[in-house]
Structure 1
Amino acid sequence: MTTVARSPNMTVHETRQRLGHERNSRLTQLSAIEDGAALADPELLTAQTAAIRRVLTEISAAEERVADGTYGACQDCGARVPVERLEILPYVRYCVSCQQRAT
């Protein structure tokens, strides 16, 4: 297990707040999609719902990493994920280099 030192730029509390905000945003999106389901293209509805559920899964995994002290470490190479990247995508698992190789 790789443990990453906490950055003074992003505390555990702030990280949890960001993840909570991301979760709430996605749940709001999911609710809006479900409310408009009767009017939506079924294929688009399925794709949007699946994408949001994937992000919710990523958010839960990030919360687990916060709890076990591995949040902020790239899950591929173990390097520190830049704080700026975590501020934009607080649930991200990989540094930019490893993410580019994976896609």
Structure 2
Amino acid sequence: MSLDTPQAETRLERLTAHEARERLEHERASRLAQLQAIEEAGPDVEEQVRSAQKDTIQRVLTQVEASFDRVQDGSFGICRGCSRPIPVERLEILPYTQFCVPCQRSAA
């Protein structure tokens, strides 16, 4: 993003810090609820499946926590691959993402 980009245009491209924190807090709460549900699951759930689910959720929670740091330092919503703004639509779906879609594909 250019330093001479008008403020109104910037707002359309990026979430505010408040909006980002709200989305991340919602994501964190959802993942913590999932972890609790896994912990409370009865013996019907195989331990290997339970462990894999917990690992996946923990990985996402780590990404969510790192996103709070990016909100704090002002780098939230900026792709770590190309340094361009990540589209708001992508951040609405994956508020903890570090990459735009093209860079995510390249990283995978």
Same fold by TM (over 0.5)?
A: yes
Which of structure 1's runs of 4+ aligned residues deviate more than 2 A?
5-10
1:102 aligns to what? 107
Whichever residue aligns with residue 20 of structure 1, its letter is E
Instruction: Give TM-score, length-normalised by structure 2.
Output: 0.85
Structure 2 residue 15 is matched with structure 1 residue 28: no
1:79 aligns to what? 84
CA distance in 2, matches of 1:11, 1:99: 23
2:3 aligns to what? none
Equivalent of 1:65, from 62, 67, 70? 70
**Contact kept? 2:81, 2:103, Cα under 8 Å:** yes
1:7 aligns to what? 11
CA distance in 2, matches of 1:64, 1:84: 21
Kindly tell me the number of residue pairs found equivalent between the two proteins.
100
Instruction: Give TM-score, length-normalised by structure 1.
Output: 0.89
CA distance in 1, matches of 2:11, 2:38: 36
Q: CA RMSD in A?
A: 1.8
1:52 aligns to what? 57
**Contact kept? 1:37, 1:45, Cα under 8 Å:** no
Percent of aligned pairs with the same amino acid = 47
CA deviation map 1:6-54 (0-9, x unaligned): 6356221111011000000000000000001533111111110000000
CA distance in 2, matches of 1:65, 1:10: 12
**Contact kept? 1:23, 1:56, Cα under 8 Å:** yes
Report the alpha carbon displacement of residue 102 of structure 1 after superposing the two structures with TM.
1.2
